[in-house]
Amino acid sequence: MQCGPAIWGEIFGELTMPDQFPEFREQIAHLFPRHVESVLSIALNEMGAPLGYRHVEYLDSWSSPGLEASIARDLRMAYVLLATVVFAIDRLWDKQSQSDDDILYPGFLTLSAAKILSAIESRSGVRGLVDTFLDSFDHFSLAMKMERSARISQSLNHQVDRRHLVNRSRLFIGLFGVICRLKGRPPLDAEIRIIEEFLFWMQRGDDLGDWREDYQTGHNSYFIRLSIQAIGKRPASEAEMEKYVYLSGAYEDEATEIINGLQTIETAVRTGSEGTTANPAFAAFVEKQRRSIAQVLSEFRSVKEQYLDH
């Protein structure tokens, strides 16, 4: 039995139909005239939306004035290309890639993104944009290695796990750093804390949604290690793991904790109560993720009823 869609993929794409992104497709055709379909095959989510397409908008909304329109557009393209690279690496890392394009295009896309960012630096007079994203890839690479080590283990180290869960999505923090550079201000510590907390809960959701695939590939993800800690050992079979997931209440408990964590972030961002200015656009984005996970939980409970009837 399967339960609900993958969670994390939704943060990196709006659930919108592909014909609503003509400008993006035109930019891809301009950048990669001989590789349009191949690039789109890895740059769009399952609903045909570009990965991370509106993240610039959400993070730019945290302070005024907003970025100049052409700079925001070009930054969005560079970011989507880099997000595509991260997702391709992640699929290869987890041995879930189903396309040679995941191997062929990350270098191509990274260089193209760097070229776009260099052009933004020249136009804006702001330096360090490429370096900021480079730093995020430094954190991402180390986090992936840490995760691999953690997944071999069957124990939890909450501080270490939290660090690599957040840094798996460090590109999002890198984007915020770039936006702040372009605006001539440093990121506030309170803003970074909120973003890190958001990423932490979203990655917890990703591990929860992928429990079956992680078990099948021998990856002891955060949720599986929580389960091992509760059971006392790694379940000997997928059927045993499935039984624990459906009957113990562990799935519902984890999903509820994630939903509550996102609710806290949503409130803080909407009201500006944690030392930041209010950001309704980002709050709406967090709300969308919270509601999505709540829907996944509802679907899980429906499947659980069928499971109990068998």
pLDDT in tens, 44-70: 988 889 999 999 999 999 999 999 999
d(CA 184, CA 308): 57
CA 19 to chain centre: 23
Which residue ranges make up each domain of the chain?
8-309
Q: Which residues, 6+ apart, have CB-to-CB distance to 292 below 8 Å?
A: 7, 10
| Mean pLDDT, rounded, for 189-197 | 96
pLDDT in tens, 99-157: 999 999 999 999 999 999 999 999 999 999 999 999 999 999 999 888 777 767 777 88
Give SS3 for 50.
strand
Dihedral (C-alpha) 116, 117, 119, 124: value to the nearest 10 degrees? 140
Q: What is the pLDDT of residue 289?
A: 94
> 8-309: which CATH topology?
Farnesyl Diphosphate Synthase (1.10.600)
Q: What is the pLDDT of residue 96?
A: 81
Q: Which residues, 6+ apart, have CB-to-CB distance to 85 below 8 Å?
A: 106, 109, 110, 113
Cβ-contact 290, 256 below 8 angstroms: no
> Max CA-CA distance within the chain?
65
Q: What is the pLDDT of residue 46?
A: 81
Write the CA distances from 191 to 72, 92, 194, 280, integer angstroms.
20, 32, 5, 14
First to last CA, the chain: 11
At 93, list the tokens: 């890392």
pTM for the model:
0.90
Residue 90 burial class via C-beta count within 10 angstroms: exposed 0-12, middle 13-18, buried 19 and up: middle
Q: What is the pLDDT of residue 9?
A: 47
Q: Which is nearest to 204 in space by CA: 235, 225, 179, 182?
A: 225
Q: Which amino acid, residue 84? A: T
∠ CA 302-306-309, rounded to 5°: 140
Gyration radius of the chain's alpha carbons: 20
